[in-house]
Amino acid sequence: MVRQDQIREWVQKVIVKPQPDADLMIAIATVESSLNPVAYNERTKAAGLFQLTPICLKDLRERFALPTDPFDPKQAAKSATVYVSWLMKQFPEDLTLVLASWNWRIENVRKWLKGEKELPEETRNFVHRVLSEWEKLKKEKEE
């Protein structure tokens, strides 16, 4: 397993604007893989700590020139941080849409916003779980 402090360190080394909160990235990894860097979903082909899909990996290579081994947790954390930062630029001030786009792809979220698609229950649950985990992490830091 990967430790939370490792993810926090890797995320904080990535220089992007806007900078995703390190605890948010930990929350995403926790929900996606339970911090398991070798997690693999046979159905979606999502892999690694952040459950990067083949489509996401292709986007990372083409849009950001980031070749990423999803099973290398340090590379995955960097790539996930860059991608979440980009999503934050697409949906400033709306973390719900950022997380929905992470889970369901930005193209689908845009179609949902236009009323062309239904938001899947899996995506609604994902957003709720990540936000709950993030709140839990923030409270733990305050104690």
DSSP line for the chain:
---HHHHHHHHHHS--SS---HHHHHHHHHHHHTT-TT-B-TTT--BTTTTB-HHHHHHHHHHH-----TTSHHHHHHHHHHHHHHHHHHSTT-HHHHHHHHHH-HHHHHHHHTTSSPPPHHHHHHHHHHHHHHHHHHHHHH-
What digits encode the pLDDT tens for the residues 14-45?
999 999 999 999 999 999 999 999 999 999 99
What digits encode the pLDDT tens for the residues 91-139?
999 999 999 999 999 999 999 999 999 999 999 999 999 999 999 999 9
Model confidence, pTM: 0.96
Could you give all domains of the chain from N- to C-terminal order, each with its CATH number?
4-142 (1.10.530.10)
In this structure, the dihedral spanned by the alpha carbons of residues 8, 11, 17 and 18, taken in order and rounded to 10 degrees, is -50
